[in-house]
Structure 1
Amino acid sequence: MKRNIVLIGMPGVGKSTIGVILAKELGFEFMDSDLLIQKQEKKLLKEIIEQEGTDGFLRIEDQVNASIDAEKAVIATGGSAVYGEKAMEHLKEIATVIYLKLPFGELEKRLGNLHNRGVVLRDGQTLRDIYNERSVLYEKYADIIIDETGKDIEETLSQIQNIL
């Protein structure tokens, strides 16, 4: 295992929730890249998206994620982190990348209103569109894929720990 763990996946798959518990169990620090972006920009994600547009937000996200310097950390990324090539190459160098994978139907039930979550959608894009677009990228960058179908948080965590 590399010195950090990075969690990637769609919004709503539990990256932050699982990340916090995993960090406690490993004795690692927990970092949420969305919070790092908000701290740097001094704005909420949805405000950044409103003011900078989708492309502007993705540029900021890529820059923030590419500059993460951590040792013994579990890092939960935003769902759109995989659009940032620089960031993902950097994260793969410093961490084991785990993709938390959920089937579309289960994800749709969990999510609710996307705009309140600060989800990056281009005009006219649906959840299904970004799911299809991102799934390919999540699989490309993942060192480990955890299938969360029908699992609760405890089951997902124990599956991750068994692999690590």
Structure 2
Amino acid sequence: MTLTERLQGTNLYLIGMMGAGKSSTGTALAQALGYQFFDTDAVLETAAGQTISEIFAEAGEDAFRQQETEVLAQLAAYRRLVIATGGGIVTQRRNWSYLHHGIVVWLEVPLGVLEQRLAGETGRPLLQRPDWRQTLADLVEQRQPLYAQADVRVPVGAEDSVEAIVAQILSLVDERLRTDAPSAQLN
């Protein structure tokens, strides 16, 4: 039985910090599984007709988080999806009720690698400040215990290719399903 068959349509949710590579990894992972791919930020931007930065600027973070939860709830209703989530999606307790309907995969990237990837980026509302490195470090520290609740933890290094990360995810998810065989019905 293939991994896709063992998954029985269960969604995979990619969590992790901004800059972790959730979108690029998610696209390749979906292709490997024969699943569809969605990025909650992209879906939210399309639905709102605004960028994430514009939503933050005009309505604030709380309004953004509420819209993000609505997008997650809508996507969670479907099967056979790989969903890249926003980095802060784990901070809202109600989101875990949706995430736990699937397999939660944490792309764990060291702070130094995140800093390299995010240097010079202007589209990250939470990092639009002179002390953005400290803000990023604080966010990592705050969110790490939440990310650690994932079903699967995937350490990601600076030199890891998307293909290598996808292979690691597939292997770890397969191992998790085999370990949880009696309760493999994750839906």
Q: TM-score, normalised to structure 2's length?
A: 0.79
Map of 2:12 onto structure 1: 5
The answer to whether structure 1 residue 80 and structure 2 residue 88 are counterparts is yes
The answer to whether structure 1 residue 118 and structure 2 residue 127 are counterparts is no
The answer to whether structure 1 residue 19 and structure 2 residue 11 are counterparts is no
Map of 1:136 onto structure 2: 145
1:59-88, Cα deviation, whole Å (9 max, x unpaired): 221222123222101000011111122122
2:46 and 2:65 map into 1 onto residues whose CA distance is 16
Q: In 2 relative to 1, CA 113–53 (structure 1 residues): closer, same or farther, beyond 3 Å?
A: farther
The answer to whether structure 1 residue 149 and structure 2 residue 157 are counterparts is yes
Q: Verify the 8 A CA contact 1:59 1:84 in the aligned structure 2.
A: no
1:43 and 1:70 map into 2 onto residues whose CA distance is 24
Q: Secondary structure at the match of 1:145?
A: strand
Q: Which amino acid aligns with 2:124?
A: G
2:28 and 2:22 map into 1 onto residues whose CA distance is 10
Work out the percentage of aligned pairs sharing the same amino acid.
Answer: 34
Q: Which amino acid aligns with 1:62?
A: T
Q: Verify the 8 A CA contact 1:8 1:99 in the aligned structure 2.
A: yes
Whose radius of gyration is greater, 1 or 2? 2
Q: Which amino acid aligns with 1:106?
A: V
1:112 and 1:70 map into 2 onto residues whose CA distance is 35
Return 5+ residue gaps in structure 1 as ranges.
Answer: none
2:124 and 2:71 map into 1 onto residues whose CA distance is 17
Q: TM-score, normalised to structure 1's length?
A: 0.89
Give me the CA root mean square deviation.
Answer: 2.0
Give the C-alpha shift of residue 154 in structure 1. Answer: 2.1
1:122 and 1:84 map into 2 onto residues whose CA distance is 22
- Would you identify which runs of 4 or more consecutive aligned residues in structure 1 move more than 4 Å? 121-125
1:81-131, Cα deviation, whole Å (9 max, x unpaired): 1112212211212x10000001111111111245x2334369877111111
Give the C-alpha shift of residue 56 in structure 1. Answer: 1.8
1:118 and 1:149 map into 2 onto residues whose CA distance is 22
